[in-house]
Structure 1
């Protein structure tokens, strides 16, 4: 289990800052915001497409071979950025990066879900989230290695990605069989939980725009590469800090009202960032607050949707919401870049504030249209990664329901029914 967590930490340290690096290099080369947004959108399009297709490859060759292949291709594409800089080439590479990262996520998340027992799945999920975000946040500081040699960040990133293969290929643990769980169709999911679907999609738009253009925003305020790295890491680590308190708050009160409050607070935080004139401590504080609020929105939307589904639907619902989030994240960079083109650097966070405002209006309508579920039906909140539909297998309650369903299908009596 530790080898899997070490692999995701090392890989995220190498790949987690690539979105920031690509955006900064394209901005420095004089490309307009829309072109930079196109490269960001290409990554999320590849991530979405890969989430739906890589399972077939993993079933054919196994987790270890598939993981090594995906990481090898990702490492090669990372070095290819240093060969020639052109928006078409780099957008194609970002699409390939998304496909490969989706393959890595599916391999690791299905492996972790299979190897963990119901009583340990919560701890495994927590460890996975720590490794994921710690690698991504710390990796931002590798942007600072480019002072003397422009290709150095790509080389360091490729080295780290290649090293992440070692814990997997040298593990003595056998790889599991990949399950056949399918996400719920979006139309059916919307019928079950309109706010869950719309909230996840809007969150994807907001964070997709941020990841693609956040560093460009700092540069256009007059900040250097170090300032961009510090801001991006502040948002990521701030996102980790507030998820648990907000999640616990949603367990005690009507979850929809908490979602409304978090979206409304995100409006204020985004507006504060947009109105801050220069990099500095105030911007870092607002960025950390923005990350804490926006990173909490996706698991809150998943928990709200799961308040309205049956136990057998939880894996499919969570998987469907990941795809909805990813689709929104593919749209966000293009829409955010268009706003920046006409309104300047602050337009990025003004656009994010408008998206959050629209989500508040929709959530208020849903509050008036349907009553809240009884407190006993509101399941416990749990943080989930926004990676691929396979991340739903790490949810302890959803995975337990899935395992029970498979046992019933195979005619195996559940232990609690033997008594």
Structure 2
């Protein structure tokens, strides 16, 4: 408890940041639909966010090095709040795409700064608990942000102003915190040869999961609206998918620690394709059934990323976990950029359920490559596996500093076997 109390201000700041992010992320596609934006434009919102987010992960460490953590966090959170209001003033699809990229940049940098503080305040004994509490707070805050949309009409000004206020409130805990500024931020680097040599299946799978998760996370609300769901049902649907993804990770983690993790990935991919095919063909017939199927679908797709990271960790050399995980994060973000663009174009020219054809194609590609790799490389023995740790697999809540806070990184730094 003493460790939690000492970082309470940082956890509150992170919670407010994710609360605003969850609200803003679901608000834009729903408000864009009300404004008559095309599916392609709405898909580009997700592409813009992922591009801005990855740019923030790469560039914000340089800014922090120049002006410090507190000033940078204040500037980024303030700018994120301004972009929400600019969305309200500039009801134009192109402007929203640019603003969404700017928000992604600000959000990534602000999240990294909070996480670097948490990393600085954690020890080998408390790191796992702090990581778990931080993950739960982020999940809860994102879900609450989405559920706020059940309270009113997203086409008005209220939720835009509310999002800006919450972004501004996230400034206060860090601005008033007496915690000393931590070490410089971790900057993600991509080493394709090293990643491929470590685990080819991890590289291919994380890219495909990025396509799938980015597609659903960006256009799930659009799909719901196109098949006739109302706004409260869509908010419940998207929140249920996220919560199911967190809960399913418990049995998935237990299975992947006992079986070949590639088999677990194959099982998740088959389940996701089956559920997605049902939604593609029959979604919209009954709202309750559709929402439950979406929840099951979220349980499958949002539990794949931590299995992939754990599998890559099984094969990593001591001292390489941070490099491997940071590289996989960048590949995941690249998939997040591509997926919404592909799916939105297909949805425009065909029908809303085409969203799940894109996710199915990604999962099928991952499944086929995993089966082929199983014939080329033996499974890791159970005693040689690293620990499985739950991670919410959206680019919105995962940064290089999240990887640095991961307890496996602490083990990695000691040079112990992972």
TM-score bracket, shorter-length normalisation: over 0.9
27, 30, 42: which one pairs with 2:33?
27
Whether 2:357 is the aligned partner of 1:350: answer yes
User: In 1, Cα distance between the equivalents of 2:391 and 2:65?
Assistant: 24
User: In 2, Cα distance between the equivalents of 1:11 and 1:278?
Assistant: 36
Offset at residue 160 of structure 1 (A): 0.9
Secondary structure of the residue aligned to 1:311 is coil
User: In 1, Cα distance between the equivalents of 2:214 and 2:13?
Assistant: 25
Q: 1:184 to 1:93 in 2, by over 3 A?
A: closer
Q: 1:241 to 1:130 in 2, by over 3 A?
A: same
User: In 2, Cα distance between the equivalents of 1:343 and 1:238?
Assistant: 29
Q: Look up the match of 1:292.
A: 299
Q: Look up the match of 1:273.
A: 279
Whether 2:408 is the aligned partner of 1:401: answer no
**Which whole-Å deviations, capped at 9, do the CAs of 1:74-111 have from their partners, x for residues lacking one?**
01111111102101110110010010011012101222
Q: Look up the match of 1:50.
A: 56
User: In 1, Cα distance between the equivalents of 2:208 and 2:330?
Assistant: 12
Q: Look up the match of 1:164.
A: 170
List 4+ stretches of structure 1 deviating above 4 A: 179-182
**Which whole-Å deviations, capped at 9, do the CAs of 1:109-140 have from their partners, x for residues lacking one?**
22211211112111111111111111111111
Query: Which ranges in structure 1 are unaligned for 5 or more consecutive residues?
Result: 406-413, 415-419
Contact 2:215 2:343 in 1 (8 A): yes
User: In 1, Cα distance between the equivalents of 2:85 and 2:286?
Assistant: 31
User: In 2, Cα distance between the equivalents of 1:190 and 1:117?
Assistant: 32
User: In 2, Cα distance between the equivalents of 1:64 and 1:181?
Assistant: 18
Contact 2:228 2:284 in 1 (8 A): no
Higher mean Cα deviation, 72-81 or 366-375?
Answer: 366-375
**Number of aligned residues:** 405
Q: 1:203 to 1:175 in 2, by over 3 A?
A: same
Q: 1:182 to 1:220 in 2, by over 3 A?
A: closer
User: In 1, Cα distance between the equivalents of 2:285 and 2:195?
Assistant: 42
Higher mean Cα deviation, 137-146 or 82-91?
Answer: 137-146
The 5 A counterparts of 1:75-224 are: 75-147=81-153, 150-179=156-185, 182-224=188-230
Q: 1:344 to 1:182 in 2, by over 3 A?
A: closer
Contact 1:46 1:96 in 2 (8 A): yes
Contact 2:218 2:340 in 1 (8 A): yes
Secondary structure of the residue aligned to 1:379 is coil
Secondary structure of the residue aligned to 2:89 is coil
**Which whole-Å deviations, capped at 9, do the CAs of 1:160-200 have from their partners, x for residues lacking one?**
11111111111121121125565351232022111111111
Query: Which ranges in structure 2 are unaligned for 5 or more consecutive residues?
Result: 1-6
Contact 1:222 1:278 in 2 (8 A): no
User: In 1, Cα distance between the equivalents of 2:135 and 2:278?
Assistant: 28
User: In 2, Cα distance between the equivalents of 1:108 and 1:168?
Assistant: 8
Offset at residue 221 of structure 1 (A): 0.6
Whether 2:262 is the aligned partner of 1:256: answer yes
Contact 2:27 2:154 in 1 (8 A): no
Higher mean Cα deviation, 153-162 or 104-113?
Answer: 104-113
User: In 2, Cα distance between the equivalents of 1:33 and 1:149?
Assistant: 17
Q: 1:177 to 1:281 in 2, by over 3 A?
A: same
Secondary structure of the residue aligned to 2:184 is coil
Q: 1:210 to 1:50 in 2, by over 3 A?
A: same
User: In 1, Cα distance between the equivalents of 2:283 and 2:105?
Assistant: 36
Offset at residue 155 of structure 1 (A): 0.4
The 5 A counterparts of 1:220-369 are: 220-274=226-280, 275-278=282-285, 280-369=287-376
Root-mean-square deviation (CA, aligned residues, Å) is 1.7
**Which whole-Å deviations, capped at 9, do the CAs of 1:298-331 have from their partners, x for residues lacking one?**
1110000011111200011111111111110011
Contact 1:183 1:318 in 2 (8 A): no
Q: 1:18 to 1:278 in 2, by over 3 A?
A: farther
Whether 2:23 is the aligned partner of 1:17: answer yes
TM-score (norm 1): 0.93
